[in-house]
Every structure is written in C-alpha cells, then in structure tokens.
A and B are shown apart, each in its own frame.
Chain A
C-alpha cells in the first residue's frame, strides 16, 4: 500500500530565502508525482506534475524533482515571498492513473 510522507510538517522562513520541501513515497511503481498548493479552507491548485519517466519539472520559481528509485521528490522554491505562504501537498499517482495518494502536507509561512 502506497504511503506518502512529507517533511517538515511546518516551515517558517523570512522573505527571500530559497527552500526545499521533501516528499517520500514507499511504492516506486507510480504513474506520476504531483505537487499542489492549498490555501486555508480552499481546494487544491496544481503546481507541477512529473511523469514517472521524467526527473524534474520547472514552473517560474518552482522546481520539482523526482527520484523514483529512492522514492523521493523535492519541491524547490526560489526567492520565497509572503504570497507563497500555504500548505504544499505532494501526491503519488498509482500506475493505473486512477488514484492519488496524498501526503499530509508542509505548511509554509513566509514572513516579510
């Protein structure tokens, strides 16, 4: 059974810092790995999707990497801003592409 773990659970940084959020998964047989942002009381916004055959994806200040063999993914946020404050969720998609297994998230707070 796939299990997804995110470390740390919470992170506070000053504005401008570069930071890394970690995600690990127990079953490397995945279809893709996805990163989402969730603001308090809101739904999910898709940030990056890495196919199982890819190593990384970039969007603006965000870069996500995937190492299937070690069961790890990282989300790198460059030059953090207060507007980046949110909970970041990673989710591993099963090989059939039918189910997303989510981690508990990392709650990020960026102070100005």
Chain B
C-alpha cells in the first residue's frame, strides 16, 4: 500500500519550455505533499510543502513564480517549472503523507529527471 506515482519519469526539453510534473497518491488520500530537488551527489533539498486546497509553502530561496505548485485534490499535486533553463536541470522527487498520520511517514515517488537543453 501507500504508493506514490510520479509522472513523467524523464523529460528533455528546450530552454524556455514550461514543464509540468504530476505526483499522485494511488491508494490513499494525501493531506500533504512535498516537493524535493536533488542535484548529483547532493542531498535532497525540500522545495515546498503543499496542502490540498491551499497555497504551497516554499522554502527560503525557492522562487514561487518559477516553481508553481497546485494541490487541487487529495490525490494529486503538480509542480510546473516555468520557462525552464539549463540550471533547472535536476532530479525532482515528490512525497505524500496520508490523512490522519501527522505527516509521518512520507511516501516517495520515483522521481522525475529533468534535462533542459
């Protein structure tokens, strides 16, 4: 149980393209979804936390106009990288926590490898 599906798994786009990444909880309702970014040989860095029906909370240094997050339902959150540039190339991972679990544990998706040319 507690499966999180992330789509697409890999994206290669030209600079200036906007890219949308979906994160779905397949067999549970997710109160909260988290978006992380991971650079090669670096740790996962939390970008933002989203709760269903409310605005996402962004970590310091993360541009909310650059990384648009929509958490429209209890099973779906989307991250849109707007006007992506090569420096946005990274591995993006989402996680979700079940309703009523006080945000523990987080269930992770398989990640999306974004490459901007």
Contact = CB atoms under 8 A, between A and B. Distances in A.
A43 B106 contact: no
Given A31-B104, A43-B93, A102 B43 contact: yes
Contact of A97 (B45, B93, B102, B109): B102
B102 A43 contact: no
Main secondary structure of the interface of A (DSSP, over half): strand
A105 B91 CA distance: 15
A43 B109 contact: yes
Interface residues of A, number: 24
Nearest to B109: A43
A58 interface: no
Interface in A49-85: 49
B96 to A, nearest CB: 12
B112 to A, nearest CB: 10
A105 B38 CA distance: 12
Nearest to A96: B103
The 5 A-B residue pairs whose C-beta atoms are closest, nearest first, are A43-B110, A44-B108, A102-B43, A43-B108, A102-B44
Interface of B: 4, 6, 32, 34, 41-46, 49, 91, 93, 95, 102-111, 113
Given A41-B91, A104-B43, 18 more contacts: A34-B105, A41-B111, A43-B4, A43-B6, A44-B44, A44-B95, A46-B105, A46-B106, A46-B108, A49-B104, A49-B105, A89-B43, A97-B103, A98-B32, A98-B49, A99-B46, A104-B41, A104-B42
6 contacts: A41-B91, A46-B107, A97-B104, A98-B49, A100-B106, A105-B43
